[in-house]
Amino acid sequence: MHNTKGCRFCACEKHEKCFELSDIFGDKYSIQHCSNCSAYFLYPPPTKEQLAKAYDESYYGKGDEKFSSSFFEDVLDVFRKKRAKKTAKSLKTGAKVLDVGCGNGKYLHFLSKYGNFQLFATELLGNSAKRAAKIPDINLHIGTIESANFPENYFDAISLFHVFEHLEEPQKTLKIISKIAKKNARVQLSFPNIDSYQAKRFKGDWLHLDPPRHLLYFKPNDFISLMKEYGFELEKTSYFSIEQNPFGMVQSILNRLSSKRDMLFESMKGNKNYLSDVKASQLFFHKCFFYCSFPLFVISDFFASMLKKSATVKFIFIKKN
């Protein structure tokens, strides 16, 4: 059970408020900085009712895909294929691969096209899990990694792509990953960079805070040090992401200029209830701004990535002991 007064990661009750923010439902929170483990976390912790509301059909999408337009899903598939192809090059035939929080399962589906691997996944109950369950290549566990009871020293590769920030018990999850990963297993993680220019500039308006779903953040260097405690050594970090970072800039600017947060993103998911009081002309402006400014923010992210200040970060770790 999480200590509701303490840090999301270490439970220390000594922490300092950085800034305030609100979610799309109007609930108010703050981002706190832990004086013990250096984590940044959402406070107060959202209730079960708040999380259930945040992870309803409007989040997962009601149809066969999360986004209302097949165009956006096709674009995401390009990035999924690219990740899968890179991962496959590092794996031997028959390798056991686990994707924690697999979403619709397409990353593993594409991975199966690049080699003969044993594919495992976890995903919480919802429409994403229903989509992943339709993919025959995946051994899917619907639930948390804690409830999956995977054997120790079992996996050759584990991935958590933009999952870590959602975890209600992140310390427990890292302990489990350390146990179930074989020696020399590769673990890939990606999450929002709380030390980014976007985070510092936009604070509560930053898209990648995504309250109340995103619960925890670490600065990259602090996270690298943390992973050493679990037996992992850093192999590679990367900051440049066309998939994540330019849109983060677009939506964060629009959040700063608008009375409601994440309107463009919610429109992409077809969340009509949230947008029922938004004028069509305002949404049209948001879309025009997106298409016109996106190339510029791809360029700006390239330079931000050189300084390790991009909006998201990806790590590859190797299990050493």
- The answer to whether the predicted template modeling score (pTM) of the entire model surpasses 0.85 is yes
Give the chain's domains with CATH numbers: 51-319 (3.40.50.150)
Q: For residues 181 and 183, what is the distance between their CA atoms, to the nearest angstrom? A: 7
List the beta bridge partners of residue 217: 40
Cβ pair 41, 48 in contact under 8 A: no
Q: Which of 146, 135, 138 is nearest to 97 (CA)?
A: 138
CA distance 239 to 247: 14
How far apart CA 287 and CA 48 sit, in angstroms, is 33
The conformational region for residue 271 under phi > 0 = left, psi -120 to 50 = alpha, else beta, is beta
Contact between residue 23 and residue 212 where contact means Cβ atoms under 8 Å apart: yes
**CB neighbourhood size of 116 (10 A):** 10
pLDDT, position 313: 99
Give the model's pLDDT for residue 1: 54
Check: CB of residue 210 under 8 Å from CB of residue 183. Answer: no
pLDDT given at position 70: 79
pLDDT for residue 294: 98
pLDDT attached to residue 2: 64
Give tens-digit pLDDT for 267-280: 998 888 999 999 99
Kindly give the parts of the chain with pLDDT less than 70: 1-2, 61-65, 68
Q: What's the pLDDT at 238?
A: 98
Tell me, what amino acid is at 7?
A: C
Nearest CA to 309 out of 198, 179, 233 is that of: 198
Tokens of residue 234, six digits? 């850093």
